[in-house]
Each structure stands twice: as structure tokens, then as C-alpha cells.
Amino acid sequence: MVVGRRFLTLVLAFAGMVLGIEGIRTAVDWWHGVLPAPTFVDYVLLASLPVIGWLWWRYLSPFRKACACQTPLSPVAPASCSGPAAPSSHESRDKAPRVP
């Protein structure tokens, strides 16, 4: 089941990438006037660009809220996108640590 799910994710990601690239190529051709009479497929490609952009921003972008890359770097443990966020230190990197 896991292999089928991963394969399906790979196929959908590839299809989204192809759809996005072809949509951008169609938009550039339309903008430059190379596309004199757009067909139905051209309109679908142009209409899919905001959806593809939203999917990228929501799930794949390093700027999304759920990404641990947005946590400030701590001298104890650097942030990484592969694992949970490390607890942030309240000490500044410019200051020496407090001694009790």
C-alpha cells in the first residue's frame, strides 16, 4: 500500500510540474502574441496556473508555515526541514550566556 501511495504521489507531482510548465509556456506565448487563437486546452492551461501556484505555496514551498526552516537558528540545534523544530533559545547570539 505504501509503495502504491508513493508512486501515486510521484505521478501526481510529475503531472503538476508538466501542467505548470506548459501553462507558463502558454501564458508567455499569449503575452507575446504568438498564440493568435487560443484553444480550449490553452484556456485550461492558463486557468490552472493559479491552482498550481497555490498548491506549490501551500505544500511545497519552504516559506509555508509548517516548515521548520522558519524557526530561528539556535546555537544548540540548527533548524532543518526534515524534522521537528528545535525549541528556540531566549539567549541572543550576540550576548554571552548568563551565569547564575
Give 40's pLDDT tier (boundaries 50, 70, 90). Answer: very high
On whether the CB atoms of residues 41 and 19 are closer than 8 A, the answer is: no
Average pLDDT over all residues of the chain: 75
Asked if residue 74 has pLDDT above 70, the reply is no
Please state, in angstroms and rounded to a whole number, the distance separating the CA atoms of residues 31 and 43. Answer: 13
On whether the CB atoms of residues 23 and 59 are closer than 8 A, the answer is: no
